[in-house]
Every structure is written in C-alpha cells, then in structure tokens.
Structure 1
Amino acid sequence: MNNRVNMKELFLGMQQEMLSKLNTIRKHVTHSGTKGNATELSWIEWLGMYLPNRYSVDQAFVVDYKGNRSDQIDLVIYDKQYSPFVFFQDGVKFIPAESVYAIFEIKQALNKEHIQYAAEKAESVRALHRTSVPIVHAGGTYPPRPLFNVIAGLITTSSDWNPPFGKPFEESMGALTPCQHLNIGCTLNGGSFLLSPDGTFETSSDEEALIFFFIKLFTQLQNLGTVPAMDIDLYSSALDSI
C-alpha cells in the first residue's frame, strides 16, 4: 500500500485550477471593472482559504488614528486580535494601519504602469501613522511591539514582458522609492518574484509560480510576527465624550 502523496502534483494542480479560473474570467467577462472585481475576489477567496486563520483577507481602505486614509487596496492581509477594530460603512471596510501585515494590487498584466500603480498604493499605506502600546499578559507586560515595514506586492495573471522578470522589470522596480518598494509578486502564468535584502530578485519558474508565491509570502508573514497592539485611546480621541 502506497501512503505517499506527491506534493508537487498537488501544488501544480492548485495552480492550474486557479489559472483556469482567472483565464475564464478574462475570456468571458468583457467589462473591465467587473473583470477586475471578479479577479480580486478570486484571490481574496484563495488566500483566505489557504492562509492560517490568524490572517484575515479583504479589499479595504487603511486608516490611521489621525483620520488619514490610504488609497483603496485590492487585497489587505490583516490581524484582528491586537487591532480589533475594522470599520464598515456602506459595504466598504476601513482597517486600522496597525492591523495590516501586507497589501497587494491585483491587475491583469505585469508591466511598468501597473508596477508604478501598485507602488503608489503601497506608499499610501506606508505613509500612515501607526501606534504601538505595551501588551499585558498573565506574567506581566510586554513592551510595545516595534513597527515593521508593511509587505507590499503585485499580483497578475500574465505579463506584457517576455521574459517576465528581465531588464524592463528590473528597471521599473529599480525606479521605485524605498517607501514604494514591492517585496513580492505573482504573475500566475509567468512566475513569481521576491525582493531580497540585497536588492536582487529571487524568481520562480512559470509552472511553480503560485506555490513559490504562497510559500514566500507565508514565510514573510511569519517573519513579521504579530502586529503591534494599537493605542485605542488615540483612536477614541475622535469622540467628544472621551
């Protein structure tokens, strides 16, 4: 009796299923706004299914205690344990900046325009003010959690470049400011990339794009640890009675 599982086949099957779904949306949904919304929802559902339960995934705006707001973000990975407030208004979510682990822009194709667009979205989130307060536990108090750099990236179905991560890609990424840097991305039928600390890019083959992206993203999330505990008093200062 063979009790072994071919993990590579499982991963590749997962990628093919996702690619088939997105290509179907691309082929049969002609309205650009509807197509974009359907693609975003597919990625939100997929990451929501496979990431551990501690991570929530949604489309949202990110806000800070001063009332500043980011651009609308296609996909936000966030934590609700230590930053419990997620605001809803007319179906739109507003997530406190302290709660955010990662943000992604989702487009149909990888190109210079979409890299710059995703970079500007990243900058709008990273420019927000975040707080961090001590965490009380059974044995005492943990000091305030140092603020980490929010992960930012770009997810696409295909690339306008061949190869996807050649000179045009590197030049477009190299033109970004530190606050705009895209740490990770996936071009589902072309490969995925990860920005290394030395500024170079680690890339995958096209057939392993999805699993490379997921494993590298999960590792990055693990390395961040837990989000800082937000200073609720600063957020509540918007109320006249507090």
Structure 2
Amino acid sequence: MLRFEGVSFRYPEDELGMMEKLSFQVENGELVAIIGASGCGKSTIFRLINGLEKPDEGKILVDERPIETIKNYSAFMPQKDLLFPWRSIEKNVCLPMELAKVSVEEQGRRTEKVLAQVGLLEYAKKFPKDLSGGMKQRAAFARTLLSGADMLLLDEPFSALDYLTRVEMQEWLLQQWVHYHKTILFITHDVEEAIFLAKRVYIIQDSRPFTEMECIEVPLDYPRNREDLKKAEIVELKESLIGKLRRSVSL
C-alpha cells in the first residue's frame, strides 16, 4: 500500500536533516503504529505522505505509484477534531464530499450511513458544543472516512481525551478498522496504545537524521481485548519499547 524508498528530508531552517535514506513499507489493510520521542519526525512522515512536504531525495509510492501522480490516496486526522462550531455534525462530516462536489443527495446518503456506523446518527443535527470529547473524535473520524481514501493517517487523535474515554476510543477504532478494511497509520506517544491497536510498531530511536525505524511485530491476534495486555510477553514487549524510547531521548 505504502512504500518509502531511500527518502531524505530536511526542513530549510534546520541544520540537521530529519531523515536520511529512510525505507519502510506498510501493507494493504494493515494497522501500523509509529512511536518515538517528541520532535523525532513522526508527524513529518505524515506530511511527506500527504504531499505537504517534498523529499529531498527518494521516492514515496502508494500502490507502486509515485504519490505525485495520484490523488485522494490518503486522509489525515489530527490530534484536535477541528470541527467547525457553526456547522452541524452532519454538515461537518460531509465537508470532504462538498469539496469533491458530490451531489447533495449522495452526500446525505453517505453521511447518514457513516454516522449510523460510528453511533452518532441521532446527533446529526447537533453542533460540536453538544458533544463529548470522544463523540467529537468519532465525528472527526467519520469525516476522514468520507474523504474516500483507502489509507488513513491518524496523528495522536486520542491524546487529549481522559484515560477511560481514550480506552473506549481505542476499542472503537479497532471495530471501525475491521468494518471498513482501511489501511491505518497511527502516531502515538502511548506505548500501550500502540501495542493494543497495531499489528506492527515502527519505532524511531536514532538521533537526527534517522536512517531507519525498527519494526516490532505485536504477538497478538485480532480481535483483541484489554486482558491481552496482561499477558507476560505483552508486558515484556511494553517494557522493552519504553526502554528503547528512553534511550532515544538520552541520545
């Protein structure tokens, strides 16, 4: 689905590059997490995938095609829901379709279907101020889905939520992934969250510029539940990943 081939990138204002000759790939339909210390380059990877930044060298391919030659291949969900307070939930959710000039009738049909799937149909006429934090993130996810892209880039979308709501949203996200069969890249600082959600975890632990991301397979099948996190091998994996992050911070 996604492949980086020898990608190097440096922000013009920085003396050091962010990454150098980075190569990695994500398979179609995978849920993959990327973890690393603040400022290590996680969000830059997303900006490169979205085409908001251009590599200094190397290639970024989606379905074996350079991203410069294709459109609507990925959709981005940031940390904040970014819902417009003056638009109803249904009007917020259908925004990608408005921009794509989808007919009003089709917008209504798709919006109703996705709001029902994410459990917000009865709130369609409500406004963001009427929703809880978790409900707003579900609305933002629905909007991301209606972009029509097969690859979703989620940048710490649950980080601002309280612990119990975050746990509920993690379980909810897995249900949506199973239902929609999307390829999902998920950035997080939360090691436990990465383990619970992802099939594979990429970890950035080198100092800048980093040249590779270590890939860790999570030894859990789907579906998953919170009890899986208590398994000895998962506890050991969590401590190992935390240790790797601590060492990267000290570099």
Same fold flag (TM > 0.5): no
TM-score by length of 1: 0.32
Q: Which has the higher contact order (CA 8 A, sep 6+)?
A: 2
TM-score by length of 2: 0.31
